[in-house]
Every structure is written in structure tokens, then in C-alpha cells.
A and B are shown apart, each in its own frame.
Chain A
Amino acid sequence: DGGITQSPKYLFRKEGQNVTLSCEQNLNHDAMYWYRQDPGQGLRLIYYSQIVNDFQKGDIAEGYSVSREKKESFPLTVTSAQKNPTAFYLCASSQSAWLGNQPQHFGDGTRLSIL
């Protein structure tokens, strides 16, 4: 069954700690995205990747880092520089970021909280 898998579902971060959120897809999609969602708000783009070994900053990239070494995987690291990391993090993919009009498929999300 194709889809996007995010893990873990819940994550707690201690002050000064970096944490990594996993996102894996088996949809054979070229493009992958990371969003942050705060309570009662829309989705804000953190980073996106149009192809393996390439990625671009979104609107709120400060305090985050990503890598795209494999087509299937797009992990997000929340660094200690991100002072307000508590949020719901959503990973998504689409067939291509260059072709217009591609719907995005989302994972179930990771809820990150500060201890």
C-alpha cells in the first residue's frame, strides 16, 4: 500500500538538543516537502526538495535542516537554534514539483513538544 510514513508520531525535545523527524515515501514521487502547523493555523513551508540531492528553503527554514540523499527519504532535523519547536510537523510528497498542478500527499505527522 503506497504512502508516506512519518516517525515518530510523538517526540519530546530537551533544551539544546537536536532531533530528527523521519519521512519515507514509496510513491516514487520526485518532490517532497516539510510543513509546520501551529494550533488553529495553516501550514507553513519549512523546506522542500524537487529532486534527490537538492533542496530549497521555504518560508520558515531558520532553525531547521534537511537532507535528500535518497528519493524515498527526506528527514528533517529540528536544531537547538529553533527556539519555539513545539508544533505539528507534516511531510508531503508530489509526483513532480516542476509539473504544474500536482496534488500533495501527506503523512500522518509528528507532534513535537519541548520537555
Chain B
Amino acid sequence: GQQVMQIPQYQHVQEGEDFTTYCNSSTTLSNIQWYKQRPGGHPVFLIQLVKSGEVKKQKRLTFQFGEAKKNSSLHITATQTTDVGTYFCARGTGKLIFGQGTTLQVKP
């Protein structure tokens, strides 16, 4: 249905390694939003992707929207301890449907 599946559920990396989380849908997405939730905190909006094949960058973070608009990814280059948290993708307009999130742990 309208679910979005995120993989992996957990990822442990050494500081300096790269990290990628994937968001997949069985149906075409009109847009995809990405949020970050620090441990004990609340989700914070990172970015929104709308166009097929779109790629956006925020410093070490690269967001991609698939050509078929059925998947998206978030890639972090050279992770830092400040990247720790859970990353959620969300689909929808107004009423958002969130993926289960990928929790990133970074070992210093």
C-alpha cells in the first residue's frame, strides 16, 4: 500500500566511514521528505525531494530520489559522532507516512 520501507534498521560505523540508508515504496511517490531524530529528541526536517532523479547535497549529506520515484537514499560521507541518530523518510502530502527509520551509531 502506502508504506515506505527503510533499510537497514540499524547501522554501526566507525567514525570516518560512510553511511547510506534506503527508502523504498511499491507505489510512485509524489515527493519524499527526510528527517533526523537525535537520541531523546524530536524529528527535525532535513530536506524534501520532488523531481525524478533529483540529487541534493547538504555538506556531507547527499539525498537522491530515484528515476522511477519509488525509492530514495540518504548518504553521509565520512561520518562524525554528531551524525548519531535515527533517520526517517516520509511520504505524503500533509498527512505524512513515516518509514521505520534507520538508527546510526558512530564509534569514535
Binding site for B on A (CB under 8 A): 31, 33, 35, 40-45, 48, 50, 58, 90, 92, 94, 96-109
Q: Is the CB of B100 within 8 A of A48?
A: no
Cβ of A100 and Cβ of B30 under 8 Å apart? yes
Q: Chain A's interface: helix, strand, loop or mixed, by majority? A: loop
Which chain B positions have C-beta within 8 A of A42? 6, 88, 98-101
Residues of B near A109 (CB, < 8 A) are 42
Is B68 interfacial (CB 8 A cutoff)?
Answer: no
**Total A-B residue pairs with C-beta atoms closer than 8 Å?**
59
Whole-angstrom CA separation of A100 from B96 in the bound complex = 11
Contacting A at CB under 8 A, from B40-89, are 41-45, 48, 50, 88
**Could you list which residues of chain B lie within 8 angstroms of chain A, going by C-beta atoms?**
6, 9, 30-31, 33, 41-45, 48, 50, 88, 93-101, 103
Q: Which of A50, A96, A101 contacts B48 (CB 8 A)?
A: A101
Give every chain A residue within 8 A of B43 (Cβ-Cβ). 43, 90, 92, 104, 106
User: Which has the most chain B C-beta neighbours within 10 Å: A99, A102, A104?
Assistant: A104
Please, which residue of chain A has its CB at the minimum distance from the CB of B4?
Answer: A42
Instruction: Give the residue of B31, B45, B50, B96 whose beta carbon is less than 8 angstroms from that of A45.
Output: B96
- Closest residue of B by beta carbon distance from A41: B100
Please tell me if the beta carbons of A90 and B94 are within 8 angstroms of each other in the complex: no
Complex-state Cα separation, A21 to B42, whole angstroms: 16
User: Do the beta carbons of B95 and A106 come within 8 Å of each other?
Assistant: no
Can you list 8 pairs linking A and B with CB atoms under 8 Å apart? A33-B95, A40-B103, A43-B43, A90-B43, A92-B43, A96-B94, A101-B31, A108-B42
Q: Given known contacts A42-B101, A90-B42, A97-B95, what 17 new A-B pairs fall within 8 Å (CB)?
A: A31-B94, A33-B96, A40-B9, A41-B101, A45-B96, A45-B97, A48-B95, A90-B43, A92-B43, A100-B31, A101-B48, A101-B93, A103-B33, A105-B45, A106-B42, A107-B42, A108-B41
